[in-house]
Amino acid sequence: MLRSERDGRRVVVTGIGCVTPIGQGAEGLWEGLHRRRSAVGPITRFDPEPFRTRIAAEVPGFDPETWIDSRRLRRLDRYSALAVAVARMAVEDAGLDPETEDSDRMAVQMGSALGGVEFAEAQHEAYLRAGTRGVNPMLALTVFGGAASCNVAIELGFTGPNATNAMSCASGAIGVGSGFRLIRDDRADVALAGGAEAPLAPLSFGAFAILRAMSTRNDDPSAASRPFDRDRDGFVMGEGASLLMLEEMEHALDRGARIHAEVCGFGTTNDAFHMTRPRPDGRQAARAMRLALEDAGVSPSVVDYINAHGSSTQLNDPTEALAIRSVHGERAARIPTSGTKGYYGHALGASGAIEAAIVSLALARDWYPPTLNLDTTDDSCGGLHLITGPGETCQAEYALSNSFGFGGINAALLFRRWED
């Protein structure tokens, strides 16, 4: 029996909002996955010539005015605009009218590694050109990490718990996990949960380039993000946002909501080892997965699909493979596993939320996307059943989604297929 079934508070996903390099909205994301093409290309948002890496996964054709009033939009930077847009999408997908709900029981829980850094960089350049008179007075209200979740709450009138974590590349997953816990623990009935990231600005991008963490496959960008592949040479930075509409199960059923999936477990740990290198034995990454399973009251034997963090870096991929084998033993070689960042790069704090959306849709639609650009599995990443080619069609019941970040942050979410 699931822990949530025992305790009486189960949490379901009723809405998905997302803006990604491969598509917008739940259907756009799903169609982008089926196209099986990478969205990575040359950077157009700024001049990347000074850097070793000159490629990224940019979001094409995002028009925030589709979702946000033009007067309101003037007070938002790209980071907050992405968040408010996906919040609107998630509410629409869920078919929920916030005005009919108890606003005090409606939460916003988000994550972002860098928050409003893109706007801050632009304003610093304005300051250097024109002094304080050249700086947009909205700077102080847009640069902090919590600006996006606050703007979402203002836009929709959610007066329940509101928080944004900044736990590097695990932030979006932790946002989803925090929303899940608020509802399960009877502190909210509804939560918009996930992450947003707008990191494509010269200084921020250059900082990662200096670390030599990113791929330099500039002449072949679509093949640059290649999780678990022998020839990977680093991650590809991306941008985007995703929020899930989480609801207490009875609340969702009472209003006749369509349910994508159930969230039933969350675990997070810290390596306490190094700021950029994962713990070599993968012990804490494995413990995060075990905690998510224990949180749901189930064993590793129930997991039918894993969406791996799969960052395409030299150190992270083999460590994650080791952690997965540690949790699942020989069965790891039979569990279909995807590293989907080959599609849309690594949107830092938003990645875990985008992947939570992918897992929710995959469980509902019985198709699991491939790991793009996986030509030859690195020997250090062996022992896994990594999906390639056209993806895999099967009916899974439980799925794990992993997210790991700088600072040794590990997070795992467990989802369950929804049966009416």
- The pLDDT tens digits of the residues spanning 198-223 come to 999 999 999 999 999 999 999 999 99
339 burial class (0-12, 13-18, 19+ CB within 10 angstroms)?
buried
DSSP H helical segments within 16-77, as ranges? Answer: 25-35, 70-73
The pLDDT of residue 5 is above 60: no
CA distances from 92 to 95, 238, 295, 372 (A): 5, 25, 30, 31
Q: Which residues pair with 269 in a beta bridge?
A: 410
User: What is the reported pTM?
Assistant: 0.97
Encoded tokens for 30: 């799903």
pLDDT > 70 in the chain, percent: 98
Is residue 169 annotated as part of the catalytic site, yes or no?
Answer: yes
In 3D space, the residue among 285, 290, 296 whose CA is nearest the CA of residue 404 turns out to be 285
Res. 286: pLDDT tops 60: yes
The pLDDT of residue 8: 67
Whole-number pLDDT of residue 300 = 98
Q: State the average pLDDT over residues 146-173.
A: 98
What is the per-residue pLDDT across 13-68, written as a single tens digit (0 to 9) for each?
A: 999 999 999 999 999 999 999 999 999 999 999 999 999 999 999 999 999 999 99
Give per-residue pLDDT as tens, 315-332. 999 999 999 999 999 999
CA distance 362 to 139: 39
What is the C-alpha to C-alpha distance for residues 196 and 111, in angstroms, rounded to an integer?
Answer: 7
- Give me the residues paired with residue 55 across strands: 42
- Residue 232's domain comprises 3-417
Strands 162-165 and 240-248: unpaired
- Identify the pLDDT of residue 7: 63
Mean pLDDT computed over 270-285? 97
Reduce the DSSP state of residue 48 to 3 states and report it.
coil
Annotation marks residue 381 as catalytic: no
Structural domain count, the chain: 1
Tell me whether residue 274 is one of the annotated catalytic residues: no
Average pLDDT, the chain: 96
CA distance 11 to 347: 26
DSSP assignment of 202-229, as one string?
A: HHHHHHHHHTT-B---TTSGGGS--TTB
- Residue in 251, 260, 328, 346 annotated catalytic: 346
Q: Does the structure show a pLDDT above 90 at 2?
A: no
Q: Is the pLDDT of residue 390 over 70?
A: yes
DSSP state, 55?
Answer: E
- Alpha-carbon distance of 398 to 108, in angstroms, equals 25
Section 92-118 average pLDDT: 97
Name the band, by pLDDT with cuts 50, 70 and 90, for residue 389.
very high
What pLDDT band is residue 420 in, cutting at 50, 70 and 90?
confident
Q: Annotated catalytic residue: which of 18, 251, 260, 309? A: 309
Query: Rounded distance, CA 412 to CA 174, Å?
Result: 8
**In one letter, which amino acid is 257?**
A
> What is the DSSP-derived secondary structure letter of residue 115?
T
Query: Out of 169, 264, 328, 381, which one is annotated catalytic?
Result: 169
DSSP string, 126-186: HHHHHGGGGS-TTHHHHSSTTHHHHHHHHHHT--S-EEEE--GGGHHHHHHHHHHHHHHTT
- The CATH number linked to 262 is 3.40.47.10
Give yes or no for a contact between 384 and 228, defined as CB atoms under 8 angstroms apart.
yes
Separation CA 40–CA 355 (nearest Å)? 17
The pLDDT value given to residue 3: 59
Cβ atoms within 10 Å of 412's Cβ, excluding its own:
32
Instruction: Give the number of C-alpha atoms closer than 13 A to the C-alpha of residue 254, restricted to the C-beta side.
Output: 7
Chain position carrying tokens 């009218």: 97
pLDDT of residue 318: 98
